[in-house]
With several copies, the nearest count.
Chain A
Amino acid sequence: MDAKELIARRVARELRDSTLVNLGIGLPTLVAHYVPEGMLVAFQSENGIIGFGSRPPDGMEDPNLTDAGGGFISALPGAYAFDSATSFALIRGGHLDMTVLGGLQVDARGHLANWLVPGKMVAGMGGAMDLVAGARRVVIAMQHAAKGTAKIVPELTLPPTAARPVSLVVTDLAVIEPTPEGLVLRERAPGVSVEQILALTTAPLILPDTVPEMTL
């Protein structure tokens, strides 16, 4: 299983029945493939739809129906299309049970940076600041480290996305939960040791007595 699939499968275990969930562009999108059998989750795409499905059959693509990255999608029976003010009223108003976003850095207090690398990459925050400020649960899905450089750090060196800490961080190595006491290491990826995780994490981690392997 590659790293992205592992992360997506573990994040999918955070899904709950009859909830509304937003998936960010990129890796988070993969989570939709691993919804547990029999569970009804409504996925929101912030460009204006609840209840979208995967890419339509060849030749059936509609230029008026895409995800937030501009990729063709389909709509499931019972879908709902809406404008951008409604989209963010749903997000900011606390109607979103969960959002899954990518991350560039998470710090020891659970703060996220994911939209700007000064002097290098100016992406823009898009919907990320509203999502972190407004969703009930914010789950970060990201590689644990970038080419050997830690992304889970004592203090953000990149501009923060919000003042509010995220709820959970899922990486290819670990599941980490920000708490008022600090970052708690909750789970290890299959075959990964606590030592391996600590070696690629510069933020202090609280280690419970047992750190079980992820169930996928």
Chain B
Amino acid sequence: MRKAISAEQAAAMVPDGASVMVGGFMGVGSPHRVLAALVARGARGLTVIGNDTSRAGHGIGVLIDAGCVARCIVSHIGLNPVTQQKLIAGEMEVELVPQGTLAERIRAGGAGLGGVLTPTGIGTVVQDGKQVVTIDGRDFLLEKPLRADVALLHCYEADYYANLTYRLTAQNFNPLMAMAADLVIAEPDEVVPIGVIPPDHVRTPGVLVTHLVKRPH
């Protein structure tokens, strides 16, 4: 059984300078209440790992707006002009990673694999400085696993053990990140009793979740 914490308590567990995975795709499936609390506590120097920086004022975008982020590792910033401005002004570093490679690097980090061998990025700037491994005559990039100090997730349901479900396209990177961070904090839309989520419908087991944020009221 868990005792749910507040979004403010969750934000207090994310130290300045930490590496933080944030679930979501254009803000869909992001833990909005914890992100707002991070802004409120004035977090600084974060390395944020996520699919994208959403748009200004939304999802990971609120962390960018508020100057919480020193560096981000994402696949896309095209819909957030603030990210682009801060990048060009040198106020923030941005490491761009192909989306499928980002997903596999996080999965590898969580699954204890040494890296990812992918054809994606061969012959592009993504290849720069990376080892190319030839397997049966075909070239693959060796991409390193990604882990973080903290993962901030959004989920649909959580039970009292913190077993989680996700909903439709709000799933995206959340279950991968649940495996790849030392501290895992999940923000549910709903909390249900143990046994309400059948074993075949759980997508992230409670054993991976460190803290559960209270449901919204």
Contact = CB atoms under 8 A, between A and B. Distances in A.
A154 interface: no
A103 to B, nearest CB: 14
Interface stretch (B7-15, B36-44, B62-70, B99-107): B99-107
Contacts of A42: 205-207
Given A84-B99, A127-B98, A163 B112 contact: no
Given A92-B111, A124-B78, A126-B76, A163 B123 contact: yes
Interface in A155-189: 159-164
Given A78-B206, A163-B124, A85 B104 contact: yes
A65 B28 CA distance: 8
Place the interface of chain A in its size category.
35 or more
B76 A124 contact: yes
B29 interface: yes
A157 to B, nearest CB: 14
Interface string A89-104: 1111111000000000
B112 A123 contact: no
A134 B121 CA distance: 11
Given A85-B104, A85-B176, 6 more contacts: A48-B172, A64-B29, A64-B169, A66-B28, A70-B55, A124-B96
Nearest to A40: B1
B168 A65 contact: yes
Contacts of A69: 26, 79
A133 B195 CA distance: 33
B110 A93 contact: yes
A127 B78 CA distance: 12
B82 to A, nearest CB: 12
Contacts of A84: 25, 51, 99-100, 102-103, 172-173, 176
B47 to A, nearest CB: 17
A81 interface: yes
Contacts of A80: 163, 199, 202, 205-206
B203 to A, nearest CB: 8
Contacts of B168: 48-49, 62, 64-65, 75, 81
A70 B28 contact: yes
In order of increasing CB-CB distance, the 7 nearest A-B pairs are: A163-B123, A88-B100, A123-B78, A92-B112, A130-B100, A70-B26, A89-B111
Contacts of A90: 179
Nearest to A65: B168
A130 B26 contact: no
A69 B27 CA distance: 10
Given A81-B169, A88-B104, A125 B76 contact: yes
Nearest to B101: A130
Interface in B24-62: 25-29, 51-52, 54-55
Contacts of A93: 109-112, 179
A107 interface: no
A130 B203 CA distance: 22
Contacts of B174: 83
Interface in B155-210: 156, 159-161, 163, 166-176, 179, 194-195, 199-200, 202-203, 205-208
A89 B112 contact: yes
Interface string A52-80: 00000000001111111110000101111
Nearest to B127: A163
B52 A124 contact: yes
A64 B78 contact: no
Interface string A128-160: 111001100000000000000000000000011
A66 B207 contact: no
B76 A123 contact: yes
21 contacts: A45-B169, A47-B169, A70-B27, A70-B55, A78-B161, A81-B171, A83-B166, A83-B173, A84-B99, A84-B102, A87-B100, A122-B84, A122-B87, A124-B52, A124-B77, A125-B75, A126-B76, A134-B100, A159-B124, A160-B124, A162-B121
A162 B123 contact: yes
